[in-house]
Chains A and B, each alone.
Chain A
Amino acid sequence: MKYIFIIIIGLFSGAFYAQDSAQDLLNKVVEKTSLVNDYSASVLIKPDVPMIKSLPVKAKIYFKKKDKFKVVSKSIAILPKQGFTDVNIFLSNPKNYMVVEAGTKMINNTNARLLTVIANESSSEIILAKLYVHPVHHVILESEITTRSSGTVKVNYQYSTQLSYGLPSQIKFTVDVKEFKMPKSFSTNPHKSSTSKKKQRKTGTIVLTITNYIVNKGVSDSIFQK
């Protein structure tokens, strides 16, 4: 009997020990990212967006706490409007939102926990965020951010050398694109007739491969000035 009781106590303890609450998990994610005061990195941007033809572009990204972010590129780099630092800024203040655990999903052989974050303020730009979080490393593996102005952006994250800071090595954005309409004033393509109209894809992807992170070594404010 005594042994059965010890086993039952042990199981309960294990359960309490193994699973944080949704808020706790999110706090750990935020804690990890807050270790980063600043960073710079090289990024290769590969867009695959309907009605945009562009070759991969090399750029540099800079970040400084709490919301300074800059992409520096001589080439024209296409990036999604939402999905970078805005999520971290939103999550940094627990008063902004309410978080609820909503299940799990297998991502890259990891049983990620789904946290649904709902904005408290009706005027908040981010309305809803679905975050798939690694239960052990406390990093976001996947997210679906619904914003007021830009619709829904789906983001996949991969990590390697900067896992300890929660800085991804690859980010894949999947954006909703509406049927882009061309201004009529531009001359028509001489080699296309009025009957040739292709069906347009509804989504596009932008993949950022980030390397050469330099973290917490200081980034000058002048970089963020226009």
Chain B
Amino acid sequence: MLLKNTYNELIKILAKPRSYIGFIALTVLIGVILLAMKADGESFISFVTASFEQTLSFNGLILNGNLIAFIILQMLIIHVPLLVALVTGDLVSGEAAMGTLRMMGTKPISRNSFLLSKFLAGAIYTFFLTVWLAFLSLIIGQYMFGTGDLIVLNSDGLVIIPENDIMWRYGLAFCLAYLSLLSIATMSICFSVFSDNSIGPIVSTMAVIILFTIIGSLDVSTFDYIQPFLITTHMASWRSLFEIPVPYDAITDSIIILLIHIIGFTLLALWRFNKKDINT
């Protein structure tokens, strides 16, 4: 019944116009960035290397598809989670608002199966959105700009990763990115269980992301204790894959925290959904 209803959920997601907003938005957004980089990418590079250019010169193909993909992936922090929440935040509350939750609630499917099928469908949707992001940023980026070493600027300085050492990092980075998007999807579905209208869970998810991102970016020692547990802190953990050496312990910690969030939100949603009186 779980798989059958997951199939149902995917049909519903595919039929909703809203589901395509994410894909279209990504295409337009990434397209704009690619064109902008094609037109004036060199000045962006100067921004990256500005601190060093007084004494050093950087030679070689800096502006390449690998760098473009990295820049685009940076958008994960705020923008793509919104596109995910736009669909997943509506999965339960949208049905409550539409009245179909009442219809489906009378069917011989357990509430756990019903809700888990929504989580599964949300996960599949998020997966395809991530794949699309990867395709546009990496494949199209490499097609337009070629490949080469990747120069990355982080708070420790510049890291230059050789071309032959990049693709496996991107593979893992997109996996981590998917995990972080999945945690957002799970959070929004959980919010959706608590609401009977479409907009509330989506806005709440965005508010949480924005608030946690702000707290995470404040360089204040007071927040040092909270930051390691914030979901948004670990949404950026894919960046660690572009360090030399790769801090696998820290990445493992991030994966664990994200998984805890995913499991926690799922359990909370299941608990609430089983107790919920369907009055809509």
Contacts and interface: CB of A to CB of B under 8 A. Distances in A.
Q: Do chains A and B touch in the complex (CB under 8 A)?
A: yes
A55 B61 contact: no
B24 interface: no
Interface residues of A, number: 41
A52 B52 contact: yes
A187 B160 contact: no
A76 B57 contact: no
Contacts of B163: 74-75
Interface string B120-155: 000000000000000000000000000011010111
A187 B221 contact: no
A51 B155 CA distance: 9
Interface in A56-108: 57, 59, 71, 73-81
Given A55-B244, A76-B149, A188 B155 contact: yes
Interface stretch (B29-37, B93-101, B201-209, B233-241): B233-241
A187 B236 contact: yes
Interface stretch (B14-22, B187-195, B212-220, B269-277): B212-220
B71 to A, nearest CB: 11
Interface string A158-192: 00000000000000000111101111001111111
A149 interface: yes
Contact of A180 (B52, B58, B244, B247): B52
A53 B152 CA distance: 10
B148 A76 contact: yes
Nearest to A70: B59
Does more than half of chain A's interface fall in helix, strand or loop, or is it mixed? loop
A53 B158 contact: yes
Contact of B57 (A57, A81, A182): A81
B58 A188 contact: no
A176 B74 CA distance: 32
Contacts of A192: 155-156
B227 interface: yes
Nearest to A176: B55
A49 interface: yes
A144 B219 CA distance: 40
Nearest to B217: A188
B62 interface: yes
Given A189-B240, A191-B240, A76 B160 contact: yes
Nearest to A151: B55
B157 interface: yes
A148 B165 CA distance: 38
Given A76-B149, A194-B220, A195-B224, A52 B59 contact: no
Give the 4 A-B CB pairs with smallest separation, nearest first.
A51-B157, A54-B160, A191-B250, A76-B60
Given A74-B148, A75-B162, A76-B61, 7 more contacts: A76-B59, A76-B160, A182-B154, A187-B77, A192-B155, A195-B221, A195-B224
